[in-house]
């Protein structure tokens, strides 16, 4: 029986880093669901048609980590037809053996409400802006404004808004090193596996 880990949270909170580390630690598959939306936005044209026709090659594009791709992803993620087109792909991925780690905005609330472990990873706006600015080699103040706009869109959209699942464990990484965040998450997952 596969084991699913759902990780949600805003951009630059550390959720992708933790998700990749957990997948490696436990030998699980990993899906950064934001890439699905980034790839859909990057394809251009009708967003719903783009979502329905995604290929593995679309997910391997070099430009999907850019700020522009992130902004496009946030805008098209608010389109119900796009979300519907991508839900089944994510749910199928979540049931891969021996397990899967999915990170995004609505994994614990919509995609995998029955996940064995649910984490909502967050950090202060300023810490997230500094992290993303360092990644992109740009100005933190500009990134801060972009993150706040994106957070507002993601949390206020009518369809699958970003919010912690009722049974998610909240992990604030503002004052944590990468190692501390991964260690905390690993301990939570190991406890759930042991209790299974």
Angle, CA of 28, 74 and 33, to the nearest 5°: 10
> Is 98 a known ligand-binding residue?
no
The pLDDT value given to residue 174: 96
Helices 140-156/67-76 angle, 10° precision: 20
The pLDDT value given to residue 159: 78
DSSP one-letter string for 83-134: HHHHHHHHHHHHT-SSEEEEEESSIIIII-TT-SEEEEEE--HHHHHHHHHH
The pLDDT value given to residue 161: 83
- Cross-strand partners of 192: none
**Residue-wise pLDDT tens for the chain (196 aa)?**
899 999 999 989 999 999 999 999 999 999 999 899 999 999 889 999 999 998 878 988 988 988 788 888 888 888 989 989 999 889 999 999 999 999 999 999 999 999 999 999 999 999 999 999 998 889 999 999 999 988 888 888 877 888 999 999 999 999 999 999 999 999 999 999 999 8
**DSSP class of residue 65?**
G
The pLDDT value given to residue 32: 92
Domain that holds residue 116: 3-195
> Is 15 a known ligand-binding residue?
yes
> Is 16 a known ligand-binding residue?
yes
Dihedral, CA atoms, 84, 28, 39, 149, nearest 10 degrees? Answer: 80
> Is 11 a known ligand-binding residue?
yes
The pLDDT value given to residue 158: 78
> Is 34 a known ligand-binding residue?
no
> Is 13 a known ligand-binding residue?
yes
Please give the model's pTM, rounded to 2 decimal places.
0.87
The CATH number of residue 65's host domain is 3.40.50.300
Residue 193 dihedral angles phi and psi, to the nearest 5°: -65, -45
> Is 74 a known ligand-binding residue?
no
> Is 53 a known ligand-binding residue?
no
The pLDDT value given to residue 107: 96
Structural domain count, the chain: 1
> Is 17 a known ligand-binding residue?
yes
3-state secondary structure of 15: helix
């Amino acid at each position: 029986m596969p084991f699913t880990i759902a990780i949600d949270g805003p951009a630059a909170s550390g959720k992708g880093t933790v998700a990749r580390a957990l997948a490696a630690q436990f030998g699980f598959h990993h899906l950064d669901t934001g890439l699905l939306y980034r790839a859909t936005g990057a394809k251009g044209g009708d967003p719903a048609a783009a979502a329905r026709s995604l290929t593995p090659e679309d997910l391997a594009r070099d430009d999907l980590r850019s700020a522009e791709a992130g902004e496009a992803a946030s805008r098209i993620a608010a389109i119900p037809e796009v979300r519907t087109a991508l839900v089944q792909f994510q749910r199928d991925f979540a049931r891969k053996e021996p397990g899967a780690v999915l990170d995004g905005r609505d994994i614990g609330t919509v995609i995998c409400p029955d996940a064995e472990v649910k984490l909502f990873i967050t950090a202060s706006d300023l810490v997230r802006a500094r992290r993303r600015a360092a990644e992109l080699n740009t100005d933190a103040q500009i990134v801060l404004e972009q993150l706040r706009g994106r957070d507002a869109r993601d949390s206020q959209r009518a369809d699958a808004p970003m919010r912690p699942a009722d049974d998610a464990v909240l992990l604030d990484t503002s004052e944590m090193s990468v190692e501390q965040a991964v260690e905390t998450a690993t301990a939570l997952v190991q406890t759930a596996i042991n209790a299974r």
